[in-house]
Amino acid sequence: MKYSLIFPIYNETENIEVLYKRVKKVMDGLRKDYELIFVNDGSDDSTLSHLLVLHQKDKKVKIINFSRNFGHQVAVSAGLRFAKGENVAILDSDLQDPPEILPKFFSKLHEGYDAVYAIRKERKENFLKKFAYSSFYRFLRSIANIDIPLDSGDFCVMSRRIVEVINTLPERNRFVRGLRSWVGFKQTGLEYERDARLGGHSKYNLRRLFKLAFDGIFSFSYVPLQAMFYLGLVSLILSILGSIGAVYLRFFTTAYNRVPGFATTVILIMFVGGLMLFSVGIMGEYIRRIYDEIKQRPQFIIDSMVGFEE
Ligand code: UDP
Ligand code: MG
């Protein structure tokens, strides 16, 4: 098997037909053996029946059917686990990642790279979303302990050896683009224009976007923990200076009785309380992740697999 293409798919009925046609055209042009792995992430529309029809007429179409919705990143990870190809590609199923540029990506891979990831030249999304994405990636890059490329998502092609390494990483709150960077080897980016979603609407609501962002931050950075330490230190030093000041005012001046102090006290209590809660929250995020790992639950549960028989 030369190429495996992985498509995480969740309620994308509108897009399947066009997606399949466009992908098929591109891949047939490459004249090598390939497989199309659709990871059905608990869709509750007719996505699965559409996929089964495709499998009926084209055995290159393979389906991993989850028992429920486990999330995009988990679906991608499952696809990587079962992909057999020497070269593996990850694409969204809403045609935001145009399959037509795959040949260019694969040929870059054949030049000796282990991963070629796609860099979005321009996003066709509203201003707020663009701004949020772009600032998040810059923030993550500045605090992450690995080199996560800017403006690149999961859209990429990878060599077998990178896929094998990613498959050995057991972590559960997965941020696939981070794991890919973490593995290392020779990686490079190619620019592309990210299209608008073909049909339907985005499956990433605000909650899911925040989860993804937090997975990126807490899985690849200790800066939040260190920031707590330094914030604590600064407020400790300030409070010592404040106490010295108060003692001075009390014993060496007559100003003390004239300082009302009520507002100051309330603000300080609120500030310190807020700082403490915020810090505990950050620690909680790390602890939640430790707990998730310790439970050792499988990352996903498969209901059925179609086309993997051999
Ligand atoms: N997706 C998935 N499971 C989910 C959410 C999304 O498999 O829980 C798939 C979805 O079908 C699509 C890809 O992940 O193929 C990216 O999702 P989407 O286009 O909704 O995200 P956006 O492009 O808006 O960030
Ligand atoms: Mg999309």
| CB-based pocket (< 6 A), ligand 1 | 8-10, 12, 41, 69, 71-72, 75, 92-94, 96, 197, 202-204
Tokens of 127: 């201003």
Q: How far is the CA of 11 from the centre of ligand 1 (A)?
A: 9
Tokens of 160: 């077998």
**Distance, CA of 118 to CA of 111 (rounded, Å):** 16
> Which residue matches tokens 């403006």?
151
Q: How much is the average pLDDT of 271-290?
A: 87
Give the model confidence (pLDDT) of 118-168 as tens digits. Answer: 998 876 677 888 888 888 888 888 888 888 887 788 999 999 999 999 999
In order of their start, the domains of the chain are 3-221+297-306 (3.90.550.10)
CB 158 within 8 A of CB 88: yes
**Shortest-distance Cα residue to atom 2 of ligand 1:** 72
Confidence of residue 273 (pLDDT cuts 50, 70, 90): confident
Ligand 1 atom with minimal separation from the 93 CA: 15
User: 299 or 251: whose pLDDT is higher?
Assistant: 299
Q: Is the pLDDT of residue 278 over 90?
A: no
What pLDDT score was predicted for residue 86? 94
What pLDDT score was predicted for residue 134? 83
Pocket test for ligand 1, best of 92, 210, 215 (most atoms within 8 A of CB): 92
Ligand positioned closest to the Cα atom of 96: 2
Maximum C-alpha span of the chain: 92
What pLDDT score was predicted for residue 310? 66
Range among 16-25, 142-151, 267-276 rated most confident: 16-25
Range among 52-66, 193-207, 223-237 rated most confident: 52-66
Q: Is the pLDDT of residue 260 over 80?
A: no
User: 39 or 231: whose pLDDT is higher?
Assistant: 39
Share of the chain above pLDDT 70, in %: 97
**What is the enclosing helix (H) or strand (E) of 118?**
strand 115-122
Give the model confidence (pLDDT) of 42-101 as tens digits. Answer: 999 999 999 999 999 999 999 999 999 999 999 999 999 999 999 999 999 999 999 999
Q: Pick from 8, 64, 32, 36: which is nearest to 176 by CA?
A: 8
Cα atoms in the Cβ-side hemisphere of radius 13 Å centred on 286:
13
Residue 18 phi/psi, 5-degree rounding, is -65, -40
Tokens of 147: 């080199």
Ligand 1 atom with minimal separation from the 69 CA: 8
Q: Residue 36: beta bridge partners?
A: 5, 61
Q: Is the pLDDT of residue 307 over 70?
A: yes
